[in-house]
Amino acid sequence: MRFRVRNAAHVLERVGLAMAGAACGLFVGAYVGSAIAPLTTQGFLMLMMGLGAVGFYLGIDTPQLPFDEAHSAIDAAEFLSSAGTLCATLAALASVAVIVLRLDPHMVWTWLVLFGWIAGVAMQIVAGAKARMRK
């Protein structure tokens, strides 16, 4: 019984992280799509939300290597996960700030937010896949 409850709690946590990633992707998509006309589509919004959901589901809470002498090297998956989470959430935070404060930043900032988001979720996806393959 404890095992099933523990697994259910883990699944609920992962689904919550995926929804947080999708929400972040929605904000990034809304900001970038409103500033770059060809990206003002529902497909683009869905892509940003999908990337966020997959990235946050896989890339946060990755299984860590045991901490002992045999595993004294840097855990690449853990580093990619943390760097990816930072980049993705920073891009989402910037997007929310632009939307809520009704700012009009230079187009370079818009592209930087888009590339930061894509790089962040890509790092999360790679980190999550790498950490799960070594199990």
Q: Is residue 64 pLDDT above 80, yes or no?
A: no
| Cα gap 62→128, rounded to integer Å | 6
> CA dihedral in degrees (97, 61, 44, 46; nearest 10)?
-110
Please count the structural domains in the chain.
1
- The pLDDT tens digits of the residues spanning 118-127 come to 999 999 999 9
**Confidence band, pLDDT 50/70/90 cuts, at residue 71:** low
What pTM value is reported for the model?
Answer: 0.87
Give the domain extent around 80.
2-133
